[in-house]
Amino acid sequence: MENIPNWIILLFVATTLLTIFLFWLAAKKNKGVLYVLVIWLLIQAGIGLSGFYQNFDAVPPRFIFLLAPGFVIAALLFLTKGGKTFIQSLDLKWLTLLHTVRVPVELVLFYIFLGDLIPEDMTFEGKNFDIISGLTAPLIYMVAFRGGGVKRKLLLFWNAISLGLLINILTIAVLSAKTPFQQIAFDQPNIGVMYFPLVWLPSVIVPLVLISQLASISKLLAKGK
C-alpha cells in the first residue's frame, strides 16, 4: 500500500461511507440498517488490519470470506419473506443514484493498478467498463424520473446492462485473485483488496451495489405486473 497516494486512500474511505449513506437513504433512513452496516464496516476493518486476508496460501482462500457474506445476505434478502418486504420498501430513486459511487471506485482501482496491486484488466484501461454505470447514473435518474413518473423500461434496460458490467468485473476480480484457484493475471494478481481499507470494496461496496441493482430490477418487474 506504500505506492498508493494518501488522497486515493481518503477518496476510497469517503466513497465507502457515501455508499453506506446512499443505501441508508434508499432504506428511508432505517436506523437498523445503518447500525448493521456500520458494525459490518468496523468488523471488516478489524479483520483487514489484522492481516487475515493477506494469507494467500490459505485453504479455503481468505478471499472467499471477503465476498461470500455479502452474497449470502443478498440471497437471504431475495429469498425470505422479510427480506422481500425490505427490498420492495427501498426507494428506487436513491437506489439509482447510489451507482454514482462506481465512478470514484474505478478511479481508485486505476491507482491501485499503478501501485502494482491489481491487474490492468480490473481497470477502465483494461476489461472493466463498470465506470459507464457510474457516469450514466445521474443522467438516467434525471430522464427516468422526470415529470413525477417512472420510465420503467428505460430503468430496466439500464439496470440490466449495469448488472452485466458488475458481473464482468466481479468475474475478473475473482479469477485474478491470488488464490490456489487463480486463472488469469499471474504476472500481477489481484491482491490490493486484501489490504485495509480496500477490504471494504468486496465486503461492503460491492454487496450494496449488487443489492441495489437487483432490488431495482425486482421492484421494476413488480411494477410491470
Confirm if 70 and 207 have CB atoms less than 8 A apart. yes
Find cell 491482491 and name the residue.
191
Long-range CB contacts (< 8 A, 24+ apart) of 52-57? 53/194, 53/195, 53/199, 54/191, 54/194, 54/195, 56/178, 56/179, 56/191, 56/194, 57/180
Which three three-digit cell numbers place residue 56?
494467500
Helix (H, G, I), strand (E, B), or coil: what is residue 180?
coil
Q: Which cell numbers in the block locate residue 63?
A: 478471499
Contact 130, 169 (CB under 8 A): yes
DSSP 51: T
Count helices and strands in the chain by DSSP H and E runs: 10, 0
Please state whether the predicted TM-score (pTM) of the whole model is above 0.85: yes
Tens-digit pLDDT string for the chain (225 aa): 778 999 999 999 999 999 999 999 999 999 999 999 999 999 999 999 999 999 988 888 999 999 999 999 999 999 999 999 999 999 999 999 999 999 999 999 999 999 999 999 999 999 999 999 999 999 999 999 998 889 999 999 999 999 999 999 999 999 999 988 899 999 999 999 999 999 999 999 999 999 999 999 999 998 765
Alpha-carbon span 184 to 190, nearest angstrom: 10
Q: How many CB atoms lie within 10 A of CB 23?
A: 26
**Residue found by looking up cell 445521474 in the block:** 138
Q: How far apart are CA 99 and CA 90, in angstroms?
A: 15
Q: What is the C-alpha to C-alpha distance for residues 41 and 203, in angstroms, rounded to an integer?
A: 8
